Amino acid sequence: MTEQPPRVLHLIHGLTVGGAEVDLLQKCAILTQHYGYDFTVVCLLRRGELAAQFEALGITVVDPLMRHRYDIAAGWALRHLLRTDAAPILHTHLAAANLIGWLINRTLRPSARKILLAGEHAMAERWPAPVLWLDRRLARTGRVLVPTQATRNSYIRRGVP
């Protein structure tokens, strides 16, 4: 008997068509259909046109938590979701979701925190120093995932393990 894969919460800015969003859709499709993964995708600011494709795969899409860019109340909504959802893994995508997911996850009791996987989908050269600083902190408390070897090398050169 094979072990059931863990549930995963994905946190992303939105599901508009873009490289990270399409990459997430393709990976979720394969992992859901062929390996039985159970995903929930949480949108921070925009639902986007890809949401229907996620839902067609049987993936739950949580409507945007934020009403605007600086909606602090969204942090409480995300904290509640992290506390009540049984998924042991929080996989964030792109700088804003990485920051928000990391900060809110850190407000939980250590025993209630999710395993954090922070996804960076662009070369490190693209990001200003504060984003790289955050990625170095994320790497200490979770894992930073990148899509290619070139991207990995780019982050390593900038001190992100």
Domain presence at residue 1: no
Is a pLDDT exceeding 60 seen at residue 7?
Answer: yes
Domain presence at residue 2: no
Domain span at 25: 7-157
- State pTM to two decimals: 0.90
Amino acid identity at 18: G
Domain presence at residue 130: yes
Domain presence at residue 50: yes
What confidence tier does 147 reach under pLDDT thresholds 50, 70, 90?
Answer: confident
Domain of residue 29, CATH code: 3.40.50.2000
Domain presence at residue 14: yes
Give the list of residues 6+ apart from residue 151 with CB closer than 8 angstroms, or none: 120, 121, 122, 123, 124
% pLDDT > 70, the chain: 99
**Per-residue pLDDT tens digits for 97-122:** 999 999 999 999 999 999 999 898 88
Domain presence at residue 12: yes
Exposure pattern of 123-132 as b/e (b: 16+ CB <10 Å)? ebeebeeebb
The count of structural domains within the chain is: 1
Domain presence at residue 144: yes
Domain presence at residue 49: yes
